[in-house]
Amino acid sequence: MSEDLTTFSAQQLAAKIKNKDVTASEVTQAHFDRIEKLDKKIESFLYLDKAAALEQAKRVDKKVAKNETLSPLAGVPLALKDVMTQRGVPTTCGSKILENWRPPYDSTVVKRLKENDVIILGKVNMDEFAMGSSTENSAYQKTKNPWDLSRIPGGSSGGSSAAVASFFAPLAIGTDTGGSIRQPAAVCGIVGTKPTYGTVSRYGLIAFASSLDQAGPITRSVMDAALLNEVIAGYDPLDSTSINQSTASLVAAANTKDLKGMKIGVIKELGGEGWQEGVVANFNQSIETLKQLGAEVVEISLPHSLYALAVYYLIAPSEASSNLARFDGMRYGLRVGDNGEKDVEAVMNLTRAQGFGPEVKRRIILGTYALSTGYYDAYYGQAQKVRGLIAEDFKAAFEKVDVLVSPTSPTTAWKLGERVDNPLAMYLADLATLPPSLAGVPAISVPIGLAKEDQMPVGLQIIAPAMQDHKNYQVASAIEAAQGGLLIDQIKDLASLV
> Catalytic residues, which ones?
81, 156, 180
Residue 98 contacts residue 121 (beta carbons within 8 Å):
no
Q: Which residues contact residue 15 at a Cβ distance below 8 angstroms, ignoring those fewer than 6 apart? A: none
Residue 436 contacts residue 445 (beta carbons within 8 Å):
no
- Calpha distance 220→279 (Å, rounded): 20
How many C-beta atoms surround the C-beta of residue 483 within 10 A? 15
Cis omega (within 30 of 0) for bond into 409: no
How many C-beta atoms surround the C-beta of residue 340 within 10 A? 4
- Calpha distance 98→81 (Å, rounded): 14
- Looking only at the bridges linking them, the beta strands covering 296-300 and 263-267 are parallel
Residue 148 contacts residue 71 (beta carbons within 8 Å):
no
- Calpha distance 197→394 (Å, rounded): 15
Angle between helix 222-232 and 10-18 (nearest 10)? 70
